[in-house]
A = this chain, B = another copy of it.
Amino acid sequence: MEIIYNVSLMQRKADEWRSAGKKIGFVPTMGFFHEGHLELMRVARKNADVVVASIFVNPIQFGPSEDYNRYPKDIERDKKKAQDVGVDILFIPSVEEMYPDGFQTKVHVEKLTKHLCGLFRPGHFDGVTTVVTKLFNIVKPHVAVFGEKDYQQLLVIKRMVKDLNMDVHIIGVPTVREADGLAMSSRNTYLSPEERKSALCLKKSIDMARDMVKKGESNASIIKKKVEELITSYPFTKIQYISICDPDTLEEISQINDKALIAMAVFVGNARLIDNAILEKVEKGDRI
């Protein structure tokens, strides 16, 4: 596995691969790899000839009161893990390399960013779409892989790719979870042992919501109230939002007809955790 720190070198490498007819798979990350990241890399491996993963904690997607400065890092461990799953290049640019003096351009997706996390993290998605545009122009992938845990991010990126005619195929990968159901996240490292127990409330409440819908409940307010009750029954929790919305537009819905997305952000101690799932009256597994 090669490590590249420089934008131009990465672009020349991508050109070489493309000239040689290689299909490039790309996994953009903020590092501190867990099984979720590795799964994205494995999917990239299966869908491309060569795989680039990037590690870049992107300052412009963090708000001033957020965890940019304490975001967990362990580059040496990341290198080993990436190598083990067959990544060809680990691209690790510096902040100065990505945002030199005079930087003043942003990519903005308008409607999809006005919901869920976008309401509570102003500028966050502009930071995401801007850095992903830059990374796509640097790595020149045919295929890029993102996790469904960040459902809104995946939707926003798909929209941007379509709207700006980026010739990149976006693959979403189901959330990877710990044995007890907690969605894997680099931010789980912020949790104390007691908070770690409470963190299960996200998955538990989502399972409850899915169950309610399967049993015939279609009133979103009733479901959200039950979810809220369950989450607040756990210590150290503070709900930022619980949304039941259209899975394509992210617009809030009151009545679940065919299917809906449930998405939530919950502070557990200092850690802001998110999770989501599709709510369906008849789930895919039931149809078989």
Identify the A interface with B (CB < 8 A). 7, 11, 15, 18-19, 21, 102-112, 129-130, 133-134, 137-138, 140, 159-160, 163-167
Contacts and interface: CB of A to CB of B under 8 A. Distances in A.
Q: Which 6 A-B pairs have the closest CB atoms?
A: A105-B163, A104-B110, A137-B165, A134-B165, A104-B111, A105-B109
Given A104-B111, A133-B164, A134-B165, 19 more contacts: A11-B167, A15-B167, A18-B18, A18-B19, A19-B19, A19-B21, A104-B110, A104-B112, A104-B159, A104-B163, A105-B109, A105-B110, A105-B160, A105-B163, A105-B164, A107-B108, A134-B163, A137-B164, A138-B165
A110 B19 CA distance: 35
Contacts of A103: 163
Contacts of A134: 163-165
Contacts of A106: 107-108, 110
Contacts of A104: 109-112, 159, 163
Complex copy number for this chain: 2
Given A18-B18, A19-B21, A21-B19, A7 B165 contact: yes
Contacts of A133: 164
Nearest to A14: B167
A108 B111 contact: no
A164 B133 CA distance: 7
30 contacts: A7-B165, A11-B165, A11-B167, A18-B18, A18-B19, A19-B19, A103-B163, A104-B109, A104-B111, A104-B159, A104-B163, A105-B107, A105-B108, A105-B109, A105-B129, A105-B159, A105-B164, A106-B110, A107-B108, A107-B164, A108-B108, A130-B164, A133-B164, A134-B163, A134-B164, A137-B164, A137-B165, A137-B167, A138-B165, A140-B167
Contacts of A111: 104
A116 B140 CA distance: 35
A197 B134 CA distance: 47
A138 B107 CA distance: 17
A28 B224 CA distance: 51
Contacts of A7: 165
A170 to B, nearest CB: 14
A110 to B, nearest CB: 4
Give the interface centre of A104, A106, A129, A137 by most chain B CB atoms within 10 Å.
A104
